Amino acid sequence: MKKLAVIAFGGNALLRGDQKGTIDEQEANVYETCTHLLELIRNGYDVVVGHGNGPQVGNVLLQHEAGEKMYGIPAQPIDFCVAETQGSIGYMIEQQLRNVLLKEGLERDILTIITEVVVDKNDPAFQKPTKPVGPFYTKEEADKITASNGSIFAEDPRGRGWRKVVASPKPVAINNVKSIETLARDGQIIITVGGGGIPVFYVEEKKLQGIDAVIDKDLASSQLATQIHADEFIILTDVPKVYINFRKPDERALDRIPVSEARKLMAEGHFAAGSMAPKVAACIQFVENGGKEAMITTATELGKPDAGTVIFAE
């Protein structure tokens, strides 16, 4: 029986820190990342791809802001912008992965699914929004927007201005998981839960509605991997392994560790909250909920015998 893997593309798979974000830059980055999926596909894996959208959704919010200021076109909320980026980034991944496969003489259907992710409206994250999104404003501009629509702003630690902050609630359920699993196990490559998914909640018992929030894409991909009974969960990032004492004289790379050790290291505070901690937490979540093993690594390490940091079930 073929194995099913969920692979979460990190931000550097789409856009590098020194780039402007042109379509040529992003397509080249995506193509390079997709070449490293070949080993899994050749080895008979069924593949589901999740991805981030941080820079892209910020740019879309800026475009909406400019359109409203210059032309009076109503700016749309974050859930709408996440849907936009799911479509545009999914298009890039779908096209470039197909180009990679065609060059290698492989043929697979590749489908992008615009995906809603249900969150709990009572999640404590809504009481203390912390996730910055969108453009920078002056204090006066931020106050004006707050007065008009109740948005919450926080000052940037690097002094670049004020940014809107939104909640980052935990994913509760992924919509359409049965179809995603069926299609993936039938051999189609599925791109889904882009940007952590479109955040929605039940405003009443049988009515879904979008909400201003950003869902962590690694936690959403982990939740998806659990719900579709994936064998493996892989997070692609910009370091080959997870380290403790990162960038210190006594730093140490982690190879294969049981989930109990991963939990212990998390509790001891070895991983940065805005960086590696959510990735390790997502891997722990997957393994504790029935997954066999989860890996954190770079795309270039995929397929190597000692690739990445692997967290496995005991």
Residue whose C-alpha is closest to residue 196's, from 3, 2, 10, 1: 10
Q: What would the DSSP string read from start to end of 126-140?
A: GGS--EEEEEEE-HH
Residues 6 or more apart whose CB falls under 8 angstroms from that of 140 comprise none
* Dist CA 261 CA 310 (whole Å): 11
Distances (CA, A) of 135 to 22, 65, 207, 223: 18, 9, 31, 30
Distance between CA 117 and CA 307 in Å, rounded? Answer: 30
Which of helix, strand or coil describes residue 50?
Answer: strand
Q: How far apart are CA 86 and CA 138, in angstroms?
A: 30
Q: For residues 132 and 54, give the distance between their C-alpha atoms in angstroms, rounded to a whole number.
A: 10
The Cα–Cα gap between 1 and 9 comes to 25
- Overall size of the chain counted in residues: 314
Residues annotated as catalytic (active site), given as ranges: 11-12, 131, 217, 279
Q: 199-227 burial string, b = 16+ CB within 10 Å, else e?
A: bbbeeeeeeeebbbbbbbbbbbbbbbbbb
Task: Identify the CA nearest to 230 among candidates 22, 47, 35, 58.
Answer: 47
Helix extents (H) in 36-133: 38-42, 54-71, 78-103
